[in-house]
Structure 1
Amino acid sequence: MRKRSKATDRDRQELDVRGSTLSKMIDRLERDGYVERNIATLDARIKLITLTPRGAEAKRQVREIWISMESELAKGIPLGELEEFCAGLQSTRNMLKRRVGRLR
């Protein structure tokens, strides 16, 4: 999610999950102390999801590991090949997304 305190439908689509799935994910994150839910002051229908200090630390650690792994995996692969590989993965993801979307 972006650096703001509320999830939007665009965030849900970016994660490629159903609203009910996202809600369950947030329930677990809240239960485990990574996020907290608050009610928006201007509209009680809106729930604001914010990272707790524990969540912020977990995010930092994951980002650090991600960058390290990405760097290690890319070592020695020519940039053109790496771009071609990433494009192939994206095409595969899009195809699977379309096919799974038909099943929903």
Structure 2
Amino acid sequence: MKQQIIAELKQELHRMEVSSQPHEFDKHLYAMERLIGLLKQDNSAAVPPVAPASRQDPASMSADDREMLRMMGGSAEGHRDSPRRSEQIPAETLDTDDGFGNGDSLFDF
């Protein structure tokens, strides 16, 4: 079944390439979309359902995973391998003309 659909997709692609009228192009594009939908439907029926992802235990995370999580601003509960960014670099604020802006938020001007 899959091979037949792929063969038909190739034929529709060729027909679309040689079409001279915009409405013919659209017609072949629509046919390809429908064939791709059939392929997806066929694949989803063949693939067993996947169990929902559960929250990973921080103790089982690799060092690379913990580092990536730290770099993205998250934390693994119970793990403090390196100090947080705010602890590493002191906050540097600049003086503004009015002395009012440049707060902690990106939107403080």
**TM bracket (short chain):** under 0.3
Query: Whose RCO is larger (CA < 8 A, sep 6+)?
Result: 1
* Greater helix share, structure number: 1
Q: TM-score, normalised by structure 1?
A: 0.24
* Greater strand share, structure number: 1
